[in-house]
């Protein structure tokens, strides 16, 4: 695979400060497909400096002009969507069709939405005898994970640019090629030098240097809750703005009046897409006791049908971790009805679509984020119990509710401690704010809420 051996800083590919590299591995066959430079503190310094230099002019660029640059970026992503999908498939392992539809398709929608929002957002309003301005926060340090490698970049960079901020990105070490492609797209879109900068590298080196850099005004992080807590603490100590999109353990609540087959089928597909590596995945399926056995049969069938269509997990560490969780589920007394801990193929980091029945709410597999193709089916006796179970984790990122009519589902969803809920299989909306309650995070991404994260408020009185 094509790879750059430098960092994208100040509008050009510059030699890395150090000599170490990161090997990029195709998780489907465990082959090394490319190397990228492993950034160090000097690279981060140079990138933050470039972003800082570019900030005043970009912040002063009229929103309509920023909007047209973001629209140009969207157009480049459209023109290069096949290459993007192939790159994501090569380094993440997602099946090509999923990469085309989701990994390449969603960032196009999100970039398009910010081209429109940049042009239409009220960056200035009158409040009594004051004029209130929404001004860009400054230099953004963006740290992204590998599970939706382009979406998570665009969900930070597009609103930051719309707001008038400049950005330094440290992408996940497992998926740097998609990030390099994005940097090429930024260049092709004519976004001015220094407005977007890329430093590839390890989280513990380049990521930490970026999060702690005094020249960064806002840190936007997506990833594990463990690293998010550290980043939040570092940012807090420096009185720096921070946005955290962390883990989840979302509930798919199937009320007795729902279309059971549909709710179970969509629920299984929701988890198996991207091999379960989705922070908002509905990994706990909550079913009324009267329908429990039927739901288990339907779920096992749906998971078995997935079989070979599922991609591998991203790396050997995740592979071992997910299989360890499956073993733990068995050890704690849950009943395997599909899949299991055995690797289904000799090569590649594959895990079979796995379904557990007889899961109780306090089991490890019902509490911790597994980040693999594993669904736990939990029984409830009445709605109050379903709500207690749904709300009974440290997380609160997403969820689903199914009922005969939307009003019944909405009434339940309003009682859930979670940031986003799909009602009766509701469709993805790129303008809907996404983010967590409780330990799932701080702040929101997407839409106008996502844009406002990158703005700060100034009032002038007359
Ligand atoms: P992670 O370590 O939190 O990675 C997220 C990003 O943070 C990566 O760019 C990572 O770099 C960087 N990073 C790591 N340590 C850092 C530090 N001390 N300071 C600054 N940046 C740092 O997540 P992971 O290790 O890839 O995955 C572990 C678990 O996290 C998964 O099993 C899953 O439960 C959860 N996860 C959640 C999401 C989500 O969307 N909420 C996404 C991915 C993973 P490196 O790539 O070099 O580690
Ligand atoms: Mg990590």
The domain that contains 368 carries what CATH number? 3.40.309.10
Establish if 62 belongs to a structural domain. yes
Whether 203 lines ligand 1, by a CB cut-off of 6 Å, is yes
Among 153, 216, 223, 279, the mutation site with the greatest number of ligand 1 atoms within 8 A of its Cβ is 223
Which residue of the set 91, 165, 173, 245 is catalytic? 245
Q: Print pLDDT tens along the chain (462 aa).
A: 999 999 999 999 999 999 999 999 999 999 999 999 999 999 999 999 999 999 999 999 999 999 999 999 999 999 999 999 999 999 999 999 999 999 999 999 999 999 999 999 999 999 999 999 999 999 999 999 999 999 999 999 999 999 999 999 999 999 999 999 999 999 999 999 999 999 999 999 999 999 999 999 999 999 999 999 999 999 999 999 999 999 999 999 999 999 999 999 999 999 999 999 999 999 999 999 999 999 999 999 999 998 888 999 999 999 999 999 999 999 999 999 999 999 999 999 999 999 999 999 999 999 999 999 999 999 999 999 999 999 999 999 999 999 999 999 999 999 999 999 999 999 999 999 999 999 999 999 999 999 999 999 999 999
233 plus 302 within the same structural domain: no
Whole-number Å distance, alpha carbon 230 to ligand 2 midpoint, is 13
Q: How many CB atoms lie within 10 A of CB 368?
A: 16
Decide: helix, strand or coil at residue 201: coil
Structure tokens at 221: 């992080």
245 is catalytic: yes
What atom of ligand 1 comes closest to residue 322's alpha carbon? 32
- Helices 149-163 and 176-188 pack at an angle, to 10 degrees, of 40
Ligand sitting nearest the alpha carbon of 441? 1
Whole-number Å distance, alpha carbon 230 to ligand 1 midpoint, is 11
Establish if 1 belongs to a structural domain. no
61 plus 150 within the same structural domain: yes
State the Cα–Cα distance between residues 397 and 381, nearest whole angstrom. Answer: 24
Q: State the Cα torsion 437-442-445-450 to the nearest 10°.
A: 120
State the Cα–Cα distance between residues 15 and 9, nearest whole angstrom. Answer: 10
- By the 10 Å C-beta count (0-12 exposed, 13-18 middle, 19+ buried), 97 is classed as exposed
Ligand sitting nearest the alpha carbon of 171? 1
What atom of ligand 1 comes closest to residue 397's alpha carbon? 41
State the Cα–Cα distance between residues 139 and 177, nearest whole angstrom. Answer: 23
231 plus 338 within the same structural domain: no
Q: State the Cα torsion 234-207-247-341 to the nearest 10°.
A: -140
Split into its structural domains, the chain has a count of: 2
218 plus 147 within the same structural domain: yes
How far, CA to CA in Å, does 196 sit from each of 163, 306, 324? Answer: 13, 39, 39
Contact assessment for residue 52 and residue 166, using Cβ atoms and an 8 Å cutoff: yes
232 plus 349 within the same structural domain: no
State the Cα–Cα distance between residues 122 and 63, nearest whole angstrom. Answer: 10
State the Cα–Cα distance between residues 458 and 95, nearest whole angstrom. Answer: 47
Whole-number Å distance, alpha carbon 371 to ligand 2 midpoint, is 13
DSSP 108-145: HHHHHHHHHHHHH--SEEEETTEEEEEEE--EEEEE--
Whether 279 lines ligand 1, by a CB cut-off of 6 Å, is yes
Whether 230 lines ligand 1, by a CB cut-off of 6 Å, is yes
Establish if 435 belongs to a structural domain. no
Structure tokens at 164: 């008038």
What atom of ligand 1 comes closest to residue 440's alpha carbon? 41
What atom of ligand 1 comes closest to residue 211's alpha carbon? 20
Domain with 382, as residue range(s), is 251-430
Whether 211 lines ligand 1, by a CB cut-off of 6 Å, is yes
Whether 227 lines ligand 1, by a CB cut-off of 6 Å, is yes
Q: How many CB atoms lie within 10 A of CB 65?
A: 12
Whole-number Å distance, alpha carbon 228 to ligand 1 midpoint, is 8
Whole-number Å distance, alpha carbon 213 to ligand 1 midpoint, is 19
Angle CA 248–417–302, to nearest 5: 50
Establish if 210 belongs to a structural domain. yes
425: left (phi over 0), alpha (psi -120 to 50) or beta: left
426 plus 449 within the same structural domain: no
152 plus 259 within the same structural domain: no
Choose among 401, 149, 172: nearest CA to 285: 401
């Amino acid at each position: 695979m094509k790879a750059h051996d430098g960092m994208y800083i100040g509008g050009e590919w510059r030699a890395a400060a150090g000599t170490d590299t990161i090997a990029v591995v195709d998780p489907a066959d465990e082959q090394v497909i490319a190397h990228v430079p492993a950034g160090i503190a000097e690279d981060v310094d140079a990138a933050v400096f470039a972003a800082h230099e570019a900030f005043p002019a970009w912040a002063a660029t009229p929103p309509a002009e920023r909007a047209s640059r973001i629209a140009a970026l969207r157009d480049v992503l459209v023109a290069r969507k096949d290459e993007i999908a192939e790159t994501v498939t090569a380094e993440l392992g997602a099946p090509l069709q999923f990469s085309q539809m989701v990994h390449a398709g969603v960032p196009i929608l999100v970039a398009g939405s910010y081209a429109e929002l940049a042009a239409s957002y009220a960056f200035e309003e009158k409040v009594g005898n004051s004029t209130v301005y929404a001004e860009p926060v400054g230099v953004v340090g963006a740290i992204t994970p590998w599970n939706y490698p382009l979406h998570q970049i665009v969900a930070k960079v597009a609103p930051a640019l719309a707001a008038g901020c400049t950005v330094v990105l440290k992408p996940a070490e497992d998926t740097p090629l998609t990030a390099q492609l994005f940097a090429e797209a930024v260049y092709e879109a004519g976004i001015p030098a220094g407005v977007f900068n890329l430093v590839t590298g390890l989280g513990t080196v380049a990521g930490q240097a970026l999060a702690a850099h005094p020249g960064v005004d806002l840190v936007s992080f997506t990833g594990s809750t463990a690293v998010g807590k550290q980043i939040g603490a570092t940012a807090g100590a420096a009185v720096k703005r921070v946005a955290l999109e962390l883990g989840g353990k979302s509930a798919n609540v199937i009320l007795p009046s729902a279309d059971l087959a549909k709710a179970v089928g969509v629920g299984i597909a929701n988890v198996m897409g991207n091999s379960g590596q989705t922070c908002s995945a509905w990994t706990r399926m909550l079913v009324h006791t009267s329908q429990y056995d039927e739901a288990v049969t339907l779920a096992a069938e749906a998971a078995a049908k997935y079989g070979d269509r599922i991609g591998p997990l991203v790396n050997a560490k995740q592979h071992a971790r997910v299989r360890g969780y499956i073993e733990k589920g068995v050890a704690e007394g849950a009943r395997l009805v599909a899949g299991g801990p055995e690797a289904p193929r000799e090569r590649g980091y594959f895990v079979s679509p796995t379904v557990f029945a007889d899961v109780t709410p306090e089991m490890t597999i019902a509490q911790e984020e597994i980040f693999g193709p594993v669904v736990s089916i939990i029984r409830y006796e009445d709605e109050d119990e379903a709500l207690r179970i749904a709300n009974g984790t440290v997380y609160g990122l997403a969820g689903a509710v199914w009922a005969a009519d939307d009003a019944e589902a909405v009434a339940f969803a309003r009682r859930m401690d979670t940031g986003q809920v799909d009602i009766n299989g509701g469709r993805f909306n790129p303008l809907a704010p996404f983010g967590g309650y409780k330990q799932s995070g701080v702040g929101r991404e997407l839409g106008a809420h996502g844009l406002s994260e990158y703005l700060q408020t100034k009032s002038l009185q007359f």
